[in-house]
């Protein structure tokens, strides 16, 4: 049996992490009535901080939490017993089968895992992704700022090059501008010969 299904059956009531009698009976593979009879026969082993019965209001509140997921076969008036971690540990002395011992070990591990989750909650993956995204966004903004700076510098350099080219073209036009001929005007005579 995996720990996760057991962890899903651990609830908080009156400040205790508890398991319901019918969940425990299902896990131990006994009828709820048999489990409760064994507990009642050994009631001195189960003080109030090990096991207690839910009130009508507590049970109604519990039913509203999981009525769709956990079908119950309880009569309306039978209020379930709930067992704290110590109560579940005590069940191993009341239910003495090999199955009960093996299941009890797994349940104890599930309680420890739940306690660890409370003490060391897992890293919120969404928050972690959000932080990574913010860092990436800052990086992109820096890159674009650098790009815009480079782009601005490049624009200025291109303008200077264009200005220089325009100046050179002006000088080139002036140098290649036809000069007024000095002396005899030969171009008209050459055209007539053609």
Backbone angles phi, psi at 77, to 5 degrees: -85, -20
CA distance 83 to 53: 9
CA distance 86 to 101: 15
Q: Who contacts 182 (Cβ-Cβ below 8 Å, separation ≥6)? A: none
Question: In the prediction, which pLDDT does 99 show?
Answer: 73
For the chain, the average pLDDT equals 77
- 132: tokens are 């990574």
Fold of 3-119: Mlu1-box Binding Protein; DNA-binding Domain (3.10.260)
The answer on pLDDT for 6 being more than 90 is no
More confident residue, 97 or 49: 49
Predicted TM-score (pTM) of the model is 0.52
Cα separations in angstroms, 106 against 91, 92, 170: 13, 12, 93
- What are the tens digits of pLDDT across the range 46-84? 999 999 999 989 888 888 776 544 445 555 558 899 999
CA distance 103 to 107: 6
Question: In the prediction, which pLDDT does 110 show?
Answer: 79
Q: Among the listed ranges 29-33, 67-71, 141-145, 179-183, which one has the minimum average pLDDT value? A: 67-71
- What are the tens digits of pLDDT across the range 115-169? 777 777 666 666 777 777 788 778 777 777 766 666 677 777 778 887 888 888 8
């Amino acid at each position: 049996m995996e720990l996760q299904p057991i962890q899903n059956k651990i609830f908080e009531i009156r400040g205790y992490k508890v398991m319901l009698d019918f969940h425990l009976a299902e896990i131990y593979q006994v009828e709820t009535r048999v489990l409760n009879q064994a507990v009642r026969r050994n009631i001195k082993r189960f003080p109030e901080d090990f096991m207690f019965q839910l009130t009508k209001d507590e049970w109604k509140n519990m039913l509203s939490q999981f009525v769709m997921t956990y079908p119950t076969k309880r009569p309306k008036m039978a209020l379930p017993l709930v067992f704290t971690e110590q109560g579940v540990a005590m069940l191993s002395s009341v239910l003495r089968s090999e199955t009960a011992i093996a299941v009890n070990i797994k349940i104890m591990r599930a309680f420890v895992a739940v306690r660890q989750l409370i003490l060391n909650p897992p890293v919120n993956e969404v928050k972690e992704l959000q932080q990574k995204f913010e860092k990436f966004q800052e990086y992109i903004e820096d890159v674009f700022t650098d790009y815009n700076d480079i782009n601005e510098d490049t624009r200025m350099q291109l303008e200077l090059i264009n200005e220089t080219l325009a100046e050179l073209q002006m000088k080139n036009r002036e140098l290649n501008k036809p000069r007024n001929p000095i002396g005899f005007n030969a171009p008209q005579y050459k055209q007539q010969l053609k």
